[in-house]
Structure 1
């Protein structure tokens, strides 16, 4: 299927590894030009090198996009972004009573405000062209708040709210705004986390994964971690002109973890 992404410019925040890189790669393979973003120039350069055979071009921008001055600098360098994927995010299992105010603020700044700010920066150019895509990478944790990461779940719920509100704002235009909700996904951070816990418990990664979906995420219907590429496939479609009738939606790639048909 041709997703008709040639000549589109996409920004994927936090895209040097994991889900972010998989999304950037999927878009580039469909012919879109992509802006790779990470905190360090070395990480950005490494990611760009991996895209050398893609149909679309890859550009780089190193910097922490949770910082306002960095986001402004990016918008000044690339003012005409067609597709904005707000993927930048952090997570951390932590008991509620051990989460200080500073962590709540940090999670909100990185996971929510970074996407709000980037959307505010790039929306006017989309409105001028009457075409654009804004996508927030949320999580199944937005709906089924995990007791071990309440601060994380809060930010993911907020992303869905922002996405729906922006979709209402641009109603009747060629701009769509959606959120995508991955379930447990074996991104780099999760993979490292799983490997560490597995070693601590003297288990193989496969044994840990099986136990995780029996005890921690028992509602999963696929009974495994999704791959970043499986999430990226959904995002690439939503970013395309073919998805023009899908907006204001919270789209699940959660392996059936959310126990609801609606």
Structure 2
């Protein structure tokens, strides 16, 4: 399927690894000029090389900026004043009991998971609305609708992203701009794979992953971890003109883990 993303410029925050890298690769494979963002030149260049190997025709641009800070967002905006697609992917998580989560822990996740998307959207969405076209996507999580007790602060930020996304979508009424959230479920990034291995250190990786899903995410209908590429493909579609009727939506790509018909 041709997603008609040629001649579009896409910025994916935190796209040097994990889900962000997969999203960037999917957008690049569809012809979008894709800005690869990370905190260091080494990680950005490594990501560019990886995408180029998979998609030789990829049009890629490097952006070294820490978008978890106001200064980093300002640097991003100065380097790229205008984009057609903004994917707010930057986010961090940690498993900490609620009674052990300090104010500093809450503030750190809020600044990274919430304010990065707020600052970038505040700039780029205005331009999209004035041009009457564009896409903004927030990468939330199934934890946003099914909060994890061991990650109260993370879950809270993911729920808040859904509210922000819908509020911004209301601003696009009557235009060809859309703002949506995509909610991945357990996705096998390198960091998640390491986390699972720490939980089950005596098991081989494949068996450890099976046990984690069985014991920790038993309601999953697909009964496996999601491949980051699967999330990348969903996001690429949402960013395309083919998804023009999807606006203000929370798109669940969590393998049926959440037991809800809505």
Note whether the superposition's TM-score is higher than 0.5: yes
Matches within 5 A, 1:175-186: 175-186=177-188
- Assess if the C-alpha contact under 8 Å between 2:133 and 2:177 holds in 1: yes
Q: Does 1:3 align with 2:3?
A: yes
Q: Aligned-pair RMSD on alpha carbons?
A: 1.0
Could you tell me how far 1:49 is from its partner in structure 2? 1.5
Shift of 1:34: 0.5
Contact 2:196 2:212 in 1 (8 A): no
Alignment partner for residue 80 of structure 1, among 76, 79, 82?
Answer: 82
Residue 61 of structure 1 pairs with residue 76 of structure 2: no
> Post-superposition shift, 1:38?
0.6
1:124 positional shift: 1.9
Match in the other structure for 2:35: 35
Per-residue deviation, 1:51: 2.6
Contact 1:37–1:62 (CA under 8 A) maintained in structure 2: yes
Q: Distance in 1 between matches of 2:238 and 2:188?
A: 21
- Aligned pairs for 1:29-178 within 5 A: 29-52=29-52, 53-178=55-180
TM-score by length of 1: 0.97
Aligned length: 260
SS at match of 1:214: helix
Q: Deviations over 1:90-144 (max 9, x none)?
A: 0100111000001001101100110011001111221221101000000000011
Which runs of no fewer than 5 residues in structure 2 stay unpaired? Answer: none
Q: Does 1:241 align with 2:241?
A: yes
Q: For residues 122 and 155 of structure 1, what CA distance do their matches in structure 2 show?
A: 21
Q: TM-score, normalised by structure 2?
A: 0.97
Give 3-state SS (helix, strand or coil) of 2:137's partner.
strand
- List structure 1 runs of 4+ shifted beyond 4 angstroms: none
CA contact (8 A) 2:65 2:75 kept: no
Question: Per-residue deviation at 1:54?
Answer: 4.0
Where does 1:12-27 land on structure 2 (aligned, <5 Å)? 12-27=12-27
Which structure 1 segments of 5+ residues have no match? none
8 Å contact kept, 2:213–2:220? yes
